């Protein structure tokens, strides 16, 4: 039996695993290789790694983690899990079964993209969700915000710090008078025309009336979904956020199920690589304390 199984081997999961490895605990990392930011070619805002290829960051971290002899890495998707009398059992897609005293859920999330032709092909290259990750590289250029609901006001009010901003309402909602005043105070142009498609390089917004608005980049919120059903299978409490469900944890990353911890995007605590790494480190340390003191 392992001391801990980490479900998900991206940035948060590897960071949690590293803390446990250095505590000389016997751990298993299960990962199917589907990082959320696999569409992006550069990672920003992570001290010491600014501008690095996120795939290289992940692979370097994996090599460092596997230098610890008490770490086992399994390239397999964790499909299901159940509680046992003295721990947990996690089943992989390949049919393998693994037991541990504790579990760390770093499963990540899936992004449900707005259904606009041409958007998915530009996701991570010209269409983004995080201004801190991608805004600076637009060089104070022409920025679009694609509304998906009223939540998009947050993006629209933030992004003028990164460039000239146009808010594409796209019939997602109608701003109130107060909201329009806030947008005007930030210098945001409001475009109500319906979008037909995104085209060209980096991105042109083609409206139904035939107009074409060239941008250097666009930001939008996504509808997120926890990538794995394991939290629900184990009975962890979930909560609804503005863009999707997430695993509820306390300040020490513990879920409602004793012995199960959660970190990263699935616990609504990340958003970029730097935050995921810090969140995972906290989860790993908290898991170690659980193993020590019960």
Q: Using one digit for the tens of pLDDT, what is the confidence trace for 78-129? A: 999 999 999 999 999 999 999 999 999 999 999 999 999 999 999 999 999 9
**Mean pLDDT of all residues in the chain?**
96
What pLDDT does 162 receive?
98
Domain extent listing, the chain:
2-111+223-293, 114-220
CATH number, span 2-111+223-293? 3.50.50.60
Distance CA 4, CA 1 (A): 9
From 2.40.50.180, 3.50.50.60, 3.40.50.300, 3.40.50.410, which CATH number describes the 114-220 domain? 3.50.50.60
What pLDDT does 36 receive?
87
Do residues 134 and 166 lie in contact, with contact meaning Cβ atoms separated by under 8 Å? no
Nearest Cα neighbor of 168 from 180, 184, 156, 154 is 156
Which of 37-51, 77-91, 118-132, 141-155 is predicted least confidently?
37-51
% of the chain with per-residue pLDDT over 70 = 99
Residue 259 makes CB contacts below 8 A (sequence gap 6+) with: 87, 88, 101, 102, 103, 290
pTM, full prediction: 0.94
Place 291 in a pLDDT band, splitting at 50, 70 and 90: very high
Which of 29-43, 95-109, 131-145 is predicted least confidently?
29-43
Residue 2: HSE in the Cβ half-sphere, 13 Å Cα cutoff: 28
Nearest Cα neighbor of 266 from 45, 111, 47 is 111
Residues pairing with 110 in the sheet = 225
What pLDDT does 37 receive?
87
Instruction: Label the pairing between strands 127-128 and 217-220.
Output: parallel
Instruction: Label the pairing between strands 78-84 and 71-75.
Output: unpaired
What are the tens digits of pLDDT across the range 172-204?
A: 999 999 999 999 999 999 999 999 999 999 999
Q: What is the mean pLDDT of residues 137-158?
A: 97
What pLDDT does 272 receive?
87
Nearest Cα neighbor of 46 from 35, 54, 37, 34 is 54
Q: What is the mean pLDDT of residues 141-167?
A: 98
Cα–Cα distances (Å) from 150 to 180, 191, 276, in that order, read 12, 15, 26
Question: Is residue 214 pLDDT above 80, yes or no?
Answer: yes
Place 243 in a pLDDT band, splitting at 50, 70 and 90: confident
What pLDDT does 219 receive?
98
Nearest Cα neighbor of 198 from 116, 124, 134 is 116
% of the chain with per-residue pLDDT over 90 = 93
Residue 185 makes CB contacts below 8 A (sequence gap 6+) with: none
- Residue 202, preceding peptide bond in cis (omega within 30° of 0): yes
What are the tens digits of pLDDT across the range 245-289?
A: 999 999 999 999 999 999 999 998 667 899 999 999 999 999 999
Place 242 in a pLDDT band, splitting at 50, 70 and 90: confident
Do 2-111+223-293 and 114-220 come out as alike in CATH topology? Answer: yes
Instruction: Label the pairing between strands 212-215 and 217-220.
Output: unpaired
What pLDDT does 39 receive?
86
Which of 40-54, 143-157, 180-194, 247-261 is predicted least confidently?
40-54
Nearest Cα neighbor of 18 from 73, 86, 90, 83 is 73
What pLDDT does 140 receive?
97
Instruction: Label the pairing between strands 97-105 and 260-262.
Output: parallel
């Amino acid at each position: 039996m392992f001391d801990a199984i980490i479900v998900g081997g991206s940035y948060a999961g590897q960071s949690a695993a590293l803390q446990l490895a250095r505590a000389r605990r016997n751990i298993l990392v299960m990962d199917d290789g589907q990082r959320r930011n696999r569409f992006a070619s550069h990672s920003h805002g992570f001290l010491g790694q600014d501008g690095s290829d996120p795939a290289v960051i992940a692979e370097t971290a994996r090599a460092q983690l596997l230098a610890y002899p008490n770490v086992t890495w399994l390239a397999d998707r964790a499909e299901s899990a159940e509680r046992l009398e003295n721990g947990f059992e996690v089943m992989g897609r390949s049919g393998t079964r693994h037991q541990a005293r504790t579990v760390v859920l770093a499963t990540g999330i899936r992004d449900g993209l707005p259904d606009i032709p041409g958007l998915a092909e530009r996701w991570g290259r010209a269409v983004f969700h995080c201004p801190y990750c991608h805004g600076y590289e637009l060089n104070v250029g022409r920025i679009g915000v694609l509304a998906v609901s009223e939540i998009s006001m947050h993006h629209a009010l933030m992004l003028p710090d990164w460039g000239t901003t146009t808010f594409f309402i796209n019939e997602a909602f109608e701003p109130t008078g107060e909201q329009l005043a806030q947008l005007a105070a930030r210098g945001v142009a409001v475009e109500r025309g319906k979008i037909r498609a995104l085209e060209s390089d980096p991105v042109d917004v083609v409206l139904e009336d035939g107009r074409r608005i060239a941008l250097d980049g666009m930001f939008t919120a996504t509808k997120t979904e926890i990538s794995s059903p394991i939290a629900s299978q184990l009975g962890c409490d979930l909560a609804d956020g503005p863009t999707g469900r997430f695993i509820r944890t306390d300040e020490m990353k513990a879920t409602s199920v004793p012995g199960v911890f959660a970190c990263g995007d699935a616990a609504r605590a990340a958003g970029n690589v730097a935050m995921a790494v810090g969140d995972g480190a906290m989860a790993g340390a908290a898991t170690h304390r659980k193993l020590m003191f019960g």
